[in-house]
Chain A
Amino acid sequence: MDIVWSNFFIQLVAFLILLWLLKRYAFGPLFGIMEQRRQYVAEQIATAEASKKEAEQQLEQQKQALQEARKEAYDIIELAKATSTKQAEDIIQVAKSESTRLKDDAVKDIESEKNKAVAALREEVGGISVKIASKIIEKQVDEKSQEQLVNQYLKEVGSK
């Protein structure tokens, strides 16, 4: 085996120079970039996780809001139903009381008309009776005592 020693020493120096050059100008920057990428990926993952969490939170909020809106709508409908029922009842109530009042009024009217008619009839009957009695009795009885007599009779008739 023929060993050329100059090769050995030159290679020794040359490789050390190559090593230094590669480290200084190639691998150094590249390692930096790879480290940056590692951080970048870690950041991205962290961000993604955070936004996922936020999205979940928002979804939860949306759900809650939807639930609330639904409940509110239900409440409103229930309220409306209750109100309408109450209103209907009120209307019926008012109508009932109105009809009762009308009926009562009518009954009162009838009563008063009746009383009036009775009073009118009494007067008329009184007058007729006087005329009849005066025709019958003529001059025997003076006007005053005769009217007294008639009134007495008429009272008896009215009370019956």
Chain B
Amino acid sequence: MDHIFPIIHVAGIRFDLATLSMMLLTSIIVFVLARLAVRNLSVTNPTKLQNFLEWVIEFVENIIGTSMSMKQGRPYLVLGLSLIMYIFVGNMLGLPFGIVTDVHHGATAFGFELDLKGEEHGHVAWWKSPTADVGVTGALTIIVILLTHFEGLRLNAKHYLKHYVEPHWAFLPLALIKEVAKPLSLALRLYGNIFAGEVMIGVILGMGWIGIPALVVWQGFSVFVGAIQAFVFCMLTMVYMSQAIVHEEHEEH
């Protein structure tokens, strides 16, 4: 049961239709959820969804609060909220079912030929978590990492630049490696966890009827992993942000 993804070539660029459609679906779900929650906004008598979204906001505020003061962290609240909602919804989307089509060489989508990697016959998976694609997690990571560097330079330039050569300029390579490792670990952790979860589901499905109890257990575990990964991504975003913009306490002593 080796699944490939529906990839088409348009003007020499490869497009992954499954990831793109799931990306769009995830975004729509997040946005519709948020819109439904803020429909009929009320100060004294909030709807259930509004309550839920306010709970999410407080949850993210707490995450921010663990790494920096709320005054410094408030501008990143919307970023954190969007990240955690998008990643959580994305992680959950891939779990309940899969859509796999059996295609032969020459099959097309939107008028473009599917890339079957040279094989005559393939199982194409159309349904998956958008976060199970390294390009997606990489994009989210790059947004976060670029923003941390930008904010570090904007708000805290002296300390931000100094921390590269502290305590000695010879530490510069180490600091640079650290700065490269941050986005890599952030992107690959999320991608690895969700992708591995989906691969595991594929493997268990391959076991047939015997695999059902294992599938139930693994699905439950994947819900847990998906939630934890969304939380961790948001948490690390705020930690990196605080590292870039907050004066480190021990330097002042």
User: A: which residues have CB within 8 A of B?
Assistant: 1, 3-12, 14-19, 21-23, 25-27, 29-31, 33-34, 36-37, 40
Closest Cβ neighbor of A33 among chain B residues: B41
A40 to B38, CA, bound (A): 19
Q: CB distance A25 to B133 under 8 Å? A: no
User: Which residues of B, 69-95, contact A by the 8 Å Cβ criterion?
Assistant: 77-79, 81-82, 85-86
Inter-subunit contact B54/A26 (CB<8 Å): no
B27 touches A14 (CB 8 A): yes
Are B20 and A7 in contact, CB atoms less than 8 angstroms apart?
yes
Question: Does B121 sit within 8 A of A, measured CB to CB?
Answer: no
Q: Which residue of B lies closest to A30 (CB)?
A: B38
14 further contact pairs, Cβ within 8 A, besides A8-B135, A11-B135: A3-B135, A4-B15, A6-B14, A8-B138, A11-B136, A12-B142, A14-B24, A15-B140, A22-B30, A23-B82, A26-B53, A30-B50, A30-B53, A36-B43
B38, B44, B81, B86 interface centre (most CB from chain A within 10 Å): B38
Determine whether the beta carbon of A6 is less than 8 Å from that of B82: no
- Cα(A72)–Cα(B32), bound, Å: 73
Residues of B within 8 A of A12 (CB): 139, 142-143
Q: How far is the CA of A27 from the CA of B30 in the complex (A)?
A: 12
Residue of A nearest to B192 (CB): A1
In the complex, whether B57 has a CB less than 8 A from a CB of chain A is: yes
Report how far A99 CA is from B147 CA in the complex, Å: 119
